[in-house]
Amino acid sequence: MIITRIPPSPTGKLHIGTARTALFNYLFAKKNGGKMVFRSEDTDKARSTKESEAEIMSGLQWLGITWDNEGEIVRQSERAPIYREYLEKIIANGGAYVSREESKNTPGEMVEVVRLKNPNKVLTFNDLIRGDITFDTTELGDIVIARNLDDALYHFTVVVDDYLMGVTHVIRGEDHISNTPRQILIQEALGIERPIYAHLPLILAPDRSKMSKRHGAVSIESYRELGYTKDAILNYLALLGWNPGTDQELFTLAELVEKFEVTQIQKSGAVFDIKKFNWFNKEYLRRMSAEEFMTYLDLSTAEGLPKYFDITSDSFTRLLPTIQERISIRQEAIDEIKAGEYDFVFVSPTEYTTDMLKWKNDPDASAALPRLEKAAELLKTADFSTPDTIKAALWGYAEEVGKGELFSPLRIALSGKAQSPDPFTIAYIVGLEETLRRIATACDKIKG
Ligand code: GLU
């Protein structure tokens, strides 16, 4: 059976690179009826924390990337006796030796480290994405594989754990390519079968440098907080270095499992394009029902909204589709509300100038007056159930007098702003009574 693995080092939040590696391992395993195992590589005592481990695990689970370990999770920090057993074995069979030498950290102090006996040979391994990769191991020297028998180092623990966990395929970032020959030498010295390797392209910032914090958010959690949905994140991650070979862009996790092919993974770096990511999120938001979108937006937990912004009102419910149509992420909605973009919903506009009500050859807005009065009359009997029914009530008259001539002053009368949604949407949101009140205010302004 195919067994892949995700072995994060718990030294921070769940990084997008780790999440993408986990996703590809998951997809490859599921596609082939196999399993993926999880392992916490917490041997760096100074930097590893339990909080980070918990965060990485819950982040992956939130995305729906699950693993198939049986029993307790595997933590390298708890496996020193196992590594010791294998260190003794590799020393006994002559693959490694104990070397007494001066400590690198404390000069003058003598320490005993375990070094691998490098056979100094040319080694080739096959990579599913990159083909044959050849290294001359001579340049590596006799690598240190343990500080002492109870303190095995990274390359050794990875080899032993992958072996004991039955890992058949090692799918990991390109930054691990240079580790692979070292790990193969250890496998060979232990007489362990070599797994199959696939090294994923790096995730790059738009300037093609390695993606890092200075390019913006790099943790899944920060994207989640900004309002990226798990569907959009999964979908976008899948396309960071992989493509289906068709035009299809939107995939559910189940579809990804079905379509995923390792051979479709690219060798060159995958550029992280926030605009494309936003596009994905927008697509998923637009597909939500009104109720789902309301739950997603969850404005009751948003801080700093203006006092007048009443999220329990009917007008807010009627505003929701407009927000849903416009935004890519939740944070945008919050920022727009704070910036007053939707204050017309709750506050009758009075501060605009008569000048704004003019349309083309109408020096003092006097031509707008009869049009607004007629619009008010038509609206009194209009069907207010959707913006379209409101539009229908005004359409015939607009064709008579000109669309700009009618809708421009009407939109200003209703919003008081140079930029706003169309007048039908605003009328629908604020309701008949308030619509008529706003038109009357505009008429009074023109009359002076
Ligand atoms: N613990 C390593 C990391 O988080 C992964 C090692 C591996 O995949 O072999 O980068």
HEC assignment per residue over the chain: CCEEEECCCCCCCCEHHHHHHHHHHHHHHHHCCCEEEEEECCCCCCCCCHHHHHHHHHHHHHHCCCCCCCCCCEEHHHCHHHHHHHHHHHHHCCCEEEEEEECCCCCCCEEEEEEECCCCCEEEEEECCCEEEEEEHHHHCCCEEEEECCEECHHHHHHHHHHHCCCCEEEEEHHHCCHHHHHHHHHHHHCCCCCEEEEECCEECCCCCECCHHHCCCEHHHHHHHCCCHHHHHHHHHCCCECCCCCCCCCCHHHHHHHCCHHHECCCCEECCHHHHHHHHHHHHHCCCHHHHHHHHCHHHCCCCCCCCCCCCHHHHHHHHHHHHHCCCHHHHHHHHHCCCCHHHCCCCCCCCHHHHCCCCCCCCCCHHHHHHHHHHHHHCCCCCCHHHHHHHHHHHHHHHCHHHHHHHHHHHHHCCCCCCCHHHHHHHHHHHHHHHHHHHHHHHHHC
Counting residues of the chain whose pLDDT is more than 90, the rounded percentage is 92
Domains annotated for the chain, with CATH where assigned, are: 3-74+202-278 (3.40.50.620), 79-200 (3.40.50.620), 288-345 (no CATH), 354-447 (1.10.10.350)
Residue 325 has pLDDT above 90, yes or no: yes
What's the pLDDT band for 213 if we cut at 50, 70, 90?
confident
CA of 94 to the centre of ligand 1 (A): 28
CA of 161 to the centre of ligand 1 (A): 12
* 214 contact partners, CB below 8 Å, separation of at least 6: none
CA of 21 to the centre of ligand 1 (A): 10
Residue 380 has pLDDT above 90, yes or no: yes
> pLDDT digit string (tens) for 174-200?
999 999 999 999 999 999 999 999 999
> pLDDT digit string (tens) for 388-437?
999 999 999 999 999 999 999 999 999 999 999 999 999 999 999 999 99
Q: Which atom of ligand 1 is nearest to the CA of 158?
A: 9
Q: Which atom of ligand 1 is nearest to the CA of 162?
A: 9
Is residue 447 marked as binding? no
Out of 128-137, 198-207, 208-217, which region has the weakest mean confidence (pLDDT)? 208-217
pLDDT of residue 336: 95
Beta strand 144-148 pairing with 110-116? antiparallel
CA of 277 to the centre of ligand 1 (A): 26
Mean pLDDT to the nearest integer, 261-270 = 95
Q: Residue 81 is encoded by which pair of tokens?
A: 């006796």
Residue 28 burial (CB < 10 Å; 0-12/13-18/19+)?
Answer: buried
Mean pLDDT to the nearest integer, 337-350 = 94
Nearest CA to ligand 1 atom 4: 8
Q: Which residues line ligand 1 (CB under 6 A)?
A: 7-9, 41, 158, 172, 176
> pLDDT digit string (tens) for 14-68?
999 999 999 999 999 999 999 999 999 998 889 999 999 999 999 999 999 999 9
pLDDT of residue 118: 98
CB 213 within 8 A of CB 231: no
The Cα–Cα gap between 330 and 321 comes to 13
Q: Which atom of ligand 1 is nearest to the CA of 172?
A: 8
Please choose from 170, 176, 219 the residue to mutate so as to test ligand 1's pocket, defined by most ligand atoms within 8 A of CB. 176
What's the pLDDT band for 105 if we cut at 50, 70, 90?
confident
Residue 446 has pLDDT above 90, yes or no: yes
Residue 267 has pLDDT above 90, yes or no: yes
pLDDT of residue 215: 80
